[in-house]
């Protein structure tokens, strides 16, 4: 359900966030909607995509492992919910979930896929994860939704979300592995409008410094990295 006004609050002071977010929206809402819909389903995919799917399942389980198994009474933000896999798991634990994504098409798929009869409830919204109208939370999950942003944007986003969150923010970044650095460099040299917005690899230590500069409250902890074929993702947690 598109919500007017869900535009986030970094746009005025940070064109970087807005520019990246707009490219991400174009990609997920038009170019890659069907690919993403298929990858996040049980439908057959290529062997390479199968490794990505398995890696993402492992990562989702790891991130969920940071939260209590009983989430009744907890308000949780699924920031960049995509087709709703995380939101459904959170609602299965009883959480009151706000699932937001900048792509209305993916939010539509997520809504249609949500199993009936879950103990928790999910409110799906299309818009920016930083929109103040979303309210405050006990936990925030951001799986692979910050991977396109530079460290200053991530730090400011985490600062904004951190001030609205009582518990932790569990999220992922692309780590600075040789493969991801090579892909990132190739993306810089051969930018193509129709391709996924380039992932930006990060070193947790540099992210920690950017958080400090952005006066983002909390402590940054490194969790496990998941490597499965072309899926390489580092989990992190910012706790208050
Ligand atoms: C790689 S997908 C991951 C989706 C989901 N978290 C998952 O793991 O299946 C990244 C998602 O983040 C969303 N996204 C990126 N920036 C966003 C923003 N500023 N506000 C809301 N959603 C955003 C994209 O539209 C996309 O659906």
62 in a domain, yes or no?
Answer: yes
Number of domains in the chain: 1
Token pair belonging to 44: 């057959």
Residue nearest to atom 14 of ligand 1 (CA): 80
Q: Is residue 9 part of a domain?
A: no
Evaluate: CB of 144 within 6 angstroms of ligand 1: yes
3 state SS for 9-64: CCCCCCHHHHHHHHHHHHHHHHHCHHHHHHHCCCCCCCHHHHHHHHHHHHHHHHHH
Asked if residue 1 belongs to a domain, the reply is no
CATH at 93: 3.40.50.150
Tens-place pLDDT, residues 194-204: 556 889 999 99
Domain that holds residue 115: 15-239
Q: At what angle do helices 47-64 and 85-92 cross, to 10 degrees?
A: 40
**pLDDT surpassing 90 at residue 12:** no
192 assigned to some structural domain: yes
Q: What is the pLDDT of residue 236?
A: 98
How far is it, in rounded angstroms, from Cα 71 to Cα 90? Answer: 7
- Our mutation pick for probing the ligand 1 site, out of 28, 140, 145, counting the most ligand atoms within 8 A of Cβ, is 145
Would the pLDDT of 112 be above 60?
A: yes
Q: What's the whole-model pTM score?
A: 0.93
């Amino acid at each position: 359900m598109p919500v007017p006004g869900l535009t986030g609050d970094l746009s005025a002071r940070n064109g970087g966030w807005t520019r990246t977010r707009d490219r991400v929206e174009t990609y997920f809402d038009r170019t890659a909607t069907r690919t993403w819909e298929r990858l996040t389903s049980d439908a057959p995919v290529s062997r390479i995509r199968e490794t990505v799917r398995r890696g993402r399942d492992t990562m989702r389980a790891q991130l969920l492992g940071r939260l209590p198994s009983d989430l009744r009474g907890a308000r949780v933000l699924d920031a960049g919910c995509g087709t709703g896999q995380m939101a459904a798991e959170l609602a299965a634990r009883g959480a009151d979930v706000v699932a937001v994504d900048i792509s209305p098409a993916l939010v539509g798929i997520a809504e249609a896929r949500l199993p009936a009869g879950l103990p928790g409830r999910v409110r799906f919204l299309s818009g920016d994860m930083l929109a103040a109208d979303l309210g405050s939370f006990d936990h925030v999950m951001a799986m692979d939704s910050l991977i396109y942003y530079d460290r200053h944007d991530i730090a400011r986003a985490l600062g904004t979300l951190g001030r609205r969150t009582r518990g932790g923010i569990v999220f992922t970044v692309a780590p600075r592995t040789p493969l991801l650095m090579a892909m990132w460099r190739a993306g810089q040299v051969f930018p193509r409008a129709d391709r996924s917005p380039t992932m930006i690899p990060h070193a947790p230590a540099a992210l920690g410094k950017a958080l400090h500069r952005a006066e983002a409250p909390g402590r940054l902890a490194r969790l496990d990295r998941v490597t499965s074929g072309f899926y390489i993702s580092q989990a992190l947690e910012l706790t208050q």
